Amino acid sequence: MLNYHFDWSIITSGKYFDWLVSGLKTTLEISAVGIVGAFLIGLLIAVLKMSHFAPLRWAASAYLEFFRNTPLLVQIFFWYFGSYKILPAAVNDWLNNTNFEFAAAVLALTIYTSAFIAEDIRSGILSIPKEQMEAARSAGFSYLRSMQYIILPQAVRITVPPLVNQFLNLVKNSSLAMTIGVMEITYQARQVESYTFKGFEAFTAATVVYLTLSVTITAAMEFYNRRVLNPQRG
């Protein structure tokens, strides 16, 4: 028989609860900055990849292939353990006084996810009939304005479902930040477990946090897609 004594009180109040809440806060911060950043960079890379100017296309392709085809964990380690080695001492001093773990983790997650988002947005854009671009250009819109007012608003609608996936991946991947000492929810759950040996409760808490975040993002995007992007479908 199992002789494990469940003690849910340790994760619902007191010191360990506070740890978990602070972990949740950090996870939310990483996710929020990461989602916004990855979306904007992804959009930029997608547009560059379709540029008429070949060097911009090459640069975008290189970016995509590089960051999609190396493991996120390696990228996190690279930014955290590698990047500062080639920076001037003054910059290093400054970095040491800031929350460098957090910055490195967010940077890695943002860049990694932006590569996938760029490809999703690009296929969304490519799925818009080329006649839409012709209609926009015929009205006198420049290429970029045509993108802004006519192509992207339509492409984004198509891109919402794959974007949700990328956002969820980003939230879940943020757990890797614990490997460089970012005190997000997985890190804190691990801490609670080491101090209390209540691994079941601690990681249940982390699980519930990720699940709640993911379901909330999915529901919000679904709502946005239905009410804001496709009002005509009610």
Partner 1 sequence: MIKFQGVHKWFKALHVLNGIDLHVQKGEVLVVCGPSGSGKSTLIRTINRLEPIDQGTLIVDGMDLSHKKTDLNKLRAEVGFVFQQFNLYPHLSVIRNITLAPTKIRKTPTKEAEEQAMALLERVGLAIKRDAYPTELSGGQQQRVAIARALAMKPKIMLFDEPTSALDPEMIGEVLAVMQGLAGTGMTMVVVTHEMGFAREVADRIVFMDHGQILEEAKPEEFFKNPQHDRAKQFLKQLLSPMH
User: Which residues of the chain form contacts with partner 1 (CB under 8 A)?
Assistant: 131-132, 134-142, 145, 149-150, 153-154, 157, 229, 232
Q: Which residue has the tokens 């910055």?
A: 103
The token duo for 54 is 């070949």
Given the complex with partner 1, which of 145 and 226 has the nearer CB atom? 145
Instruction: Report, in Å, the least distance between residue 150 CB and partner 1.
Output: 6
Q: What angle do CA 211, 212, 218 make, to 5 degrees?
A: 90
The token duo for 30 is 């990483």
Given the complex with partner 1, which of 150 and 209 has the nearer CB atom? 150
Instruction: Report, in Å, the least distance between residue 52 CB and partner 1.
Output: 13
Instruction: Report, in Å, the least distance between residue 6 CB and partner 1.
Output: 52
Instruction: Report, in Å, the least distance between residue 133 CB and partner 1.
Output: 10
The token duo for 35 is 């989602």
Instruction: Report, in Å, the least distance between residue 56 CB and partner 1.
Output: 21
Instruction: Report, in Å, the least distance between residue 131 CB and partner 1.
Output: 5
Given the complex with partner 1, which of 106 and 150 has the nearer CB atom? 150
Given the complex with partner 1, which of 73 and 128 has the nearer CB atom? 128
Q: Are the beta carbons of 180 and 80 closer than 8 angstroms?
A: yes
For residue 71, CA distances in Å to 65, 104, 146, 148, 204 come to: 12, 15, 36, 33, 27
Measured N-to-C along each axis, helices 152-173 and 14-49 cross at an angle, to the nearest 10 degrees, of: 140
| Intra-chain end-to-end CA distance of the chain, in Å | 55
**DSSP for 124-137?**
HHHTS-HHHHHHHH
Given the complex with partner 1, which of 68 and 157 has the nearer CB atom? 157
Q: Are the beta carbons of 11 and 201 closer than 8 angstroms?
A: yes
